[in-house]
Amino acid sequence: MRKWMKMGLAVTLTSLLAACGTAGNNNGATNNGAASEGAETSAPAELVISTWGFSEDFFKEAVYAPFEKEHNVKIVVEIGYNAERLNKIRQGSSDVDVIYLSDYYAQQGIDEKLFDTVDRANIPNIGKLYDIAKAPLGEEYGPAYTVGRLGIAYNPALVKGEVNSWADMWTAFDNNLTLPAITATAGPMIVDAASVVAGSTEFNEDQSFAKQKELDASVVKYYSQTSEYVNMFGQEEIAGGPIMEMYFKDLQAAVPDAKFVAPTEGAYAVMNTINVVKGSNNKKLAEEFINWQLSKEVQEKSAKAKVDSPVNTEVVLTEDEAKGVTYGADVIGKLRKLDMSFVNQHISEWTDRWNREIGG
């Protein structure tokens, strides 16, 4: 059986926010000539960016506006979920130049040849990233601009003892657990975690599904939206379950004693990528925007605002600034990373089997 997990190797953690610099400064941003002499009077180019739409005010002020000013460009934003935005690219009904996607959906775009290859010479800030973020889906395509982690959050008053591992989900929760649905971003991660708990050194589908079936009776709901998890947790309908660290602050606001743990077997890397869409007329400008997104200035601002965890190793956070953020070489280095190409090859059969045997 092909091994489809690899441990993410990290060098050092940086930030998602780097400075868009003017010519001659030292912030890593490059100038494509759009801001050259006389550009103030020329009509701005248009760069279309496809993204989720969260923290819109932050991105508009800290990410888009400085880049627009530096490059004499007007940024147009299209927002939506991963799947719907990728479908618009598939259908040719979008003029998107740059697209933000989770690595799971980005791999689909790569497999379907929807993205252009990138010239890394135009994205020098890639060299400042943790290794896990530099080329998560191959050297020819875009980097991860943020890496979060999927661990376990729980209410200590509602579980049996402490929770320290993925295996504890089978023993510490009594009919008060939530798990992500197979079609959720974290769904395939639970498929892998069950295989690990079953004792497989390499992924074993049959052992994974047998282990998931053992846990099914304790699951209150398989959630598709994080808001479902947060609501159930606040109302004590659940004691907890797997969740991305970035959402833990919402759980702690409802239950101050809540805990988040990175399981001893390894938390899972949750990576969001940024790519150039094939057919873009603004490829070099798009690559310069990616470079800006990876800069220390943008990465640092984003991390301090708790918008995204940084991947630029030059970002330095205080202990308070790092709370709720996936930060530091030691943390990043312990993450488990799914092989998204393998996941996409098998997700249809896993979904069918999950619907028949577990969540149907």
Residue pLDDT, tens place only, 65-87: 999 999 999 999 999 999 999 99
Instruction: Say what the pLDDT of residue 154 is.
Output: 98
Where does the pLDDT of residue 21 fall: very low under 50, low under 70, confident under 90, or very high at 90 and above? Answer: very low
**For residue 13, how many other CB atoms are within 10 A of its CB?**
30
Asked whether residue 31 carries a pLDDT value surpassing 60, the answer given is no
Domains of the chain (ranges, CATH numbers): 14-146+272-312 (3.40.190.10), 149-268+340-357 (3.40.190.10)
pTM: 0.83
Does the pLDDT at position 146 exceed 80? yes
What does residue 234 show for φ and ψ, rounded to 5 degrees? -65, -30
pLDDT at 33 over 70: no
Judge whether residue 226 has pLDDT over 60.
yes
Give the CA radius of gyration of the chain.
Answer: 21
Q: Which residues contact 132 (CB under 8 A, 6 or more apart)?
A: 8, 9, 10, 144, 147, 269, 271, 311, 332, 335, 337
Task: Tell me the C-alpha distance between 134 and 27, whole Å.
Answer: 19
What pLDDT shows up at residue 1? 44
